Amino acid sequence: MAESPEEVAVLVQRVVKDIRNAFQRNPHIDEIGLIPCPEARYNRSPIVLVENKLGVESWCVKFLLPYVHNKLLLYRQRKQWLNKDELIDITCTLLLLNPDFTTAWNVRKELILSGTLNPLKDLHLGKLALTKFPKSPETWIHRRWVLQQLIQENSLPSLVNKGNLGAAPVERIHRLVQEEMNVCSEAAGRYPSNYNAWSHRIWVLQHLEKLTVKVLLDELSSTKYWVSVHVSDHSGFHYRQFLLKSLIGRTVTDNNVLVQNQMVNEQNPSLQKEEESAGAEAACAEEQSVDLPRRLEEELELCTELIDTYPGHETLWCHRRCVFYLQHHLSNKLPLLSAVVSSVDSSDETLNNSHHSPATSHMAQAMDVDGLNESSSKQGYTQETKRLKRAPMPDSLGPEMEYQFIDKVLSTCRDADQARFATAYRKWLVTFLGQ
């Protein structure tokens, strides 16, 4: 085994070269890991490549990591020169072993900006690092930076706003989004309550995908099974809460725009243009077809099923609170918290932000769920506006059914935690409803 600095340098250079050669032989490597091996038993490379899996024998890490770490720091301090190829190899090796080393990511940012490094390769490197370190915050941060560079490179924001986005960019965005969704799902499965992964997923929806009703509904559908088999993962349910709030916020926002346009057109008929009218109808046609009460009812049914199947999980009861909160305000045409609409543009909102007291929520800025303010003039309330009104929720979904559900749980459960969570939920209902 290497002991002297010269022997360590030779060993590390060989290992770094072997890692580079492994990626050249198989560019489809999809997972990395450490192979438990206290000592070098054979005179062979510690890098093992089997199919699409890359393994590093653990005995060499204590030599490899400090060496590449110090070498990169010397380069940043301008005490040692490294060419571009050496920088790429050293930072790659370092980040596979320690992806939270910010300096290495910053060096790769400089290489991307200089045109030396393909940003797609950094996305692949980050994906590999997340298979071993799925919660690495620096990796997620760098991943978002790379995606922003790809967006700017193709001038996608300006093209999207102008409506001139060609087929090729649209397909590329779709592939990027699907890849990010897969990376997030895999990382969330590898580490419980991986808030970094779910926050990144929210960011992708906000910046790479338009938060349209179709996108939100597709995400609700695609994550339903995931949360059903991860009933204690609060981050996954928080993501569904974001989707539900965004769905309500998107519908409210678009309906408000439709009402305002109708008022302007009625007051100023000369300003109305056929192409604008057609565009508004097309934009709102999808929104009008959304049955928000039914969506919330289905989410509450999911909570009921999971609570009955997996008793004693507090996450399910917290999610039920949020769903009932949204359902209650929607059914009673009460003002939603301003956070419901702002959540469409903010990924930092947490579940606690939506659990204000009733008094606080009633004092919030008045905004009807279906997009009509109390101060709206009667002139703007047309037949088209009436069609946007949502039917009242069935009585079976009211507070009485919640109390009956709690009574049923308390009378049949044998789990102490389940009884405690049900009692706490009843207390919250009494406080929230003011009964």
pLDDT of residue 98: 95
Residue 119 — very low, low, confident or very high, per pLDDT cuts 50/70/90? very high
Q: Comparing 349 with 19, which gets the higher pLDDT?
A: 19
pLDDT of residue 297: 93
pLDDT of residue 252: 66
pLDDT of residue 395: 43
Tokens coding 233 = 């993962």
Average pLDDT, the chain: 79
pLDDT of residue 158: 40
Q: Comparing 391 with 259, which gets the higher pLDDT?
A: 259
Q: Residue 353: which residues within 8 A CB-CB, separation 6 or more? A: 339
pLDDT of residue 263: 53
pLDDT of residue 269: 54
Q: What is the pLDDT of residues 80-95, one digit of tens each?
A: 888 999 999 999 999 9
Q: What is the pLDDT of residues 48-60, one digit of tens each?
A: 999 999 999 999 9
Count of alpha carbons within 13 Å of 361, Cβ hemisphere only? Answer: 22
pTM flag (> 0.85) = no
Which whole number is the average pLDDT over 343-356? Answer: 42
Tokens coding 212 = 């349209």
Q: What is the pLDDT of residues 269-311, one digit of tens each?
A: 554 554 455 444 444 445 446 788 899 999 999 999 999 999 9
The closest alpha carbon to 426, from 321, 274, 299, belongs to 321
Does the CA dihedral 301-302-303-304 come out positive or negative? positive
Residue 160 — very low, low, confident or very high, per pLDDT cuts 50/70/90? very low
pLDDT of residue 210: 80
Task: Give the containing element (helix H, strand E) for 187.
Answer: helix 167-190
Q: What percent of the chain has pLDDT over 70?
A: 72
Residue 245 — very low, low, confident or very high, per pLDDT cuts 50/70/90? very high
Q: What is the pLDDT of residues 2-27, one digit of tens each?
A: 568 888 899 999 999 999 999 999 99
Tokens coding 325 = 């909160």
